[in-house]
Amino acid sequence: MGAIGILSSILTLAIPVAIVVLVVRAVARRRSGSGAVETGTVVRRFFSYLVMFGLTIVVGVGLASLLALALPDPNLLVGSSNVILARSISFLVIGGAVLAGMALWTRRLLDSDPSEQTSFGWASYVTAVAIVALAIAMTGLVDVLGWLAGLEDFEPSRLANVIVWALIWAAFWMLARRRLPGERNIVHLVIGSGTGLTVGVIGLAGVMSTVLQALYDQVASLNSVDRLADELWRTGILVLVGGLVWWRYWLSVTVRAGRGVIWDTYVLLFGVLGGLITAISAGSILLYQALEWLFGDPSAATAADHFSGIPVGLAAAGAGLWLWWYHRAVLGPSRAEKRHEVDRVYEYLAAGVGLIAAVSGLAIVFVALIEAMTPSGIAESSSATNTLIAAATLLLVGGPVWWRFWSSSQRLAAATSVEIASPTRRVYLLGLFGVGGVTALISLIVGFFIILQRLLDGELGAETLRDVRVPIALLITVGAVAGYHWMVFQEDRRRAPARPKAQFDQVVLLGAANGLAAQVAEVTGARVKVWRRLGLDTPPLLEEEVLSALAASASLFDQPGVMEGHRKVLVVAGDHGIEVIPFDD
């Protein structure tokens, strides 16, 4: 009953969250006017697809359990087999019958109502089942391959899980390709790509770590790994399984899919930024170990023992660098010619990661200096050496990363007003100012409280300085960061171009590409909406053509008697180019 317990826990968490999401979506659509979905339809979709998801899992568990009973298992008792048989048949008879009825009803809805196929509920159901089936099948395949390699004992349930859940995954893979529009299926493709990539990269790092560990043991004359072949098999199986899934999802489909917010987010944040953080973290550990051995107080007696973690660190750094390099190559050189908002999210997040590391190192330096100024700190100066080495490591790693991305953003901000107007840049600056300001304020309060308490107790002295070393260090470093980013924000406000006089009250883009709405809003000063045409493909709206058409049509509203008092337009790509159609709702 483990699967049922897990499913129950998932549903317990999912139901209240989903209800909140549905309420918010219903309110938003009601406010948006046209194209709103009735509340009853939204509730029906939520509960029907939630029940279908649960029934699909129940039927899959029943099929896998029934198939496992058909395979020889010497550890299975007769009594327990009867329990499993009764449970499996119950799952299949009851769950399968209800699921079949709901599936036929849903198919008729999909055929008769085009909006059903593009609904959030339908996309969520297909995506959730496909990903759950994929995860279970991958886990079972790893176990089965481990058994074939002689690493695991045979368990029928694992082989049954591979067969049943792989078939379920294949069915929903085809269902997603046939019944989910491209923009809805991209979530499924991206999650599957990330799942395969994560498992494959973990296995790749394991293979490299095992090989490097064996080489290191030989060079350092340490005891080599007794089961080197077994470790290579275990990690190699992860590479094989993860690589197969990644090939099926990413290399064969997703990498060639149309780029959008979700695709860019996956590549930039998961691939590029994730690989960069992994490589930086592993490199920092290796650098710290080297500095600690050269200048600090290492705990290990020999260099061989002290640097025994080098194989793991190098493997993690290598895997992270590959992730970073590959996904940057996927983006191609054209990304440098025209920045999108997701590019900015990646670069400002990378700058933030470097800044946090550098500021942490600087704060540790101040803490160590204050400790050294106190009598007890002088006595413990030898143990503080490693602390200073850790601070130097954070500064040496975080500082260049922050400067690389921040200086690039500053050059772009100095060259174009588009960078200054970027919402990502504003969130970055205000976020660092806010978090830094609050942290500095809390540090000031804590430090003042400690000093006041020591003063009232008559214990104010050199030890008090040691007690407030952390608040003082945070006040200096984080306060400086907050002040600097506030000044940059104020400078951006002074240099930002004046908001244009609104040419339109509202602009509706029919089938717009991602990012176009924000650009149109910035240029025209209008409220911009994006509509999707159901059941039909619309030609893409290109930025230059849309802005030119809007500029040319603005004179329509200056003519007496033409849409007087109403400045709303619908922008659509027609057979003869971009059409700007005035309307009044």
Q: What predicted TM-score, i.e. pTM, was given to this entire model?
A: 0.73
Enter the tokens of residue 149: 């390699």
Per the CB < 8 A criterion, the answer to whether 91 and 59 are in contact is yes
Selection from 15-19, 228-232, 273-277 with the highest mean pLDDT = 273-277
Q: Which pLDDT score is estimated for 133?
A: 95
**Which one, of 234, 277, 256, lies nearest residue 143 by Cα?**
234
Q: Which pLDDT score is estimated for 480?
A: 92
Separation in Å, CA 137 to CA 59, 242, 248: 15, 11, 14
Q: Which pLDDT score is estimated for 349?
A: 87
**Which one, of 143, 103, 116, 106, lies nearest residue 37 by Cα?**
116
Task: Please report where in the chains the tokens 């080495």 appear, as a residue.
Answer: 389
Q: Beginning with the edge strand found earlier in the chain, give each strand of the sheet holding 568-574 in spatial order.
A: 527-531, 506-510, 568-574, 577-582
pLDDT digits (tens, 9 = 90+) for 352-386: 989 998 999 999 888 888 877 776 654 455 566 77
525 backbone φψ class: left, alpha, beta (φ>0; ψ -120 to 50): left
Q: What SS3 class is residue 527?
A: strand
Q: Is the pLDDT of residue 250 over 90?
A: yes
Return the minimum-mean-pLDDT range out of 21-25, 478-482, 532-536, 580-584.
21-25
pLDDT digits (tens, 9 = 90+) for 61-114: 999 888 888 876 655 545 566 777 888 888 888 988 999 999 899 888 888 887
Q: Is the pLDDT of residue 531 over 80?
A: no
Q: Is the pLDDT of residue 536 over 60?
A: no
Per the CB < 8 A criterion, the answer to whether 355 and 432 are in contact is yes
Q: pLDDT tier at 333 (50, 70, 90 boundaries)?
A: low
How large is the average pLDDT for residues 42-68?
87
∠ CA 434-439-440, nearest 5°, is 100
Q: What SS3 class is residue 218?
A: helix
Q: How far apart are CA 512 and CA 531, in angstroms?
A: 8
Percent of the chain with pLDDT over 70: 79
Q: At a CB cut-off of 8 Å and minimum separation 6, what does 211 contact?
A: 232
Q: Is the pLDDT of residue 316 over 50?
A: yes
Q: What SS3 class is residue 416?
A: coil
Q: How far apart are CA 90 and CA 103, in angstroms?
A: 19
Q: How far apart are CA 517 and CA 508, in angstroms?
A: 9
Residue 516 CB coordination number (10 Å): 19
Q: Which pLDDT score is estimated for 23?
A: 47
Q: pLDDT tier at 202 (50, 70, 90 boundaries)?
A: very high
Q: Which pLDDT score is estimated for 26?
A: 47
Q: How far apart are CA 109 and CA 99, in angstroms?
A: 15
Exposed, middle or buried: residue 196 (CB in 10 Å: 0-12, 13-18, 19+)?
Answer: buried
Return the minimum-mean-pLDDT range out of 186-200, 213-227, 476-490.
213-227
Q: How far apart are CA 102 and CA 271, in angstroms?
A: 39
Selection from 294-308, 466-480, 563-577 with the highest mean pLDDT = 466-480
Enter the tokens of residue 153: 């004992």
Q: At a CB cut-off of 8 Å and minimum separation 6, what does 518 contact?
A: 341, 423, 528
Q: Which pLDDT score is estimated for 226?
A: 59
Selection from 8-12, 176-180, 262-266, 475-479 with the highest mean pLDDT = 475-479
CA of residue 556 relative to chain centroid, distance? 45
Q: Which pLDDT score is estimated for 566?
A: 59
Mean residue pLDDT across the chain = 80
Q: pLDDT tier at 27 (50, 70, 90 boundaries)?
A: very low
Q: Which pLDDT score is estimated for 383?
A: 60
Q: How far apart are CA 375 and CA 206, in angstroms?
A: 47
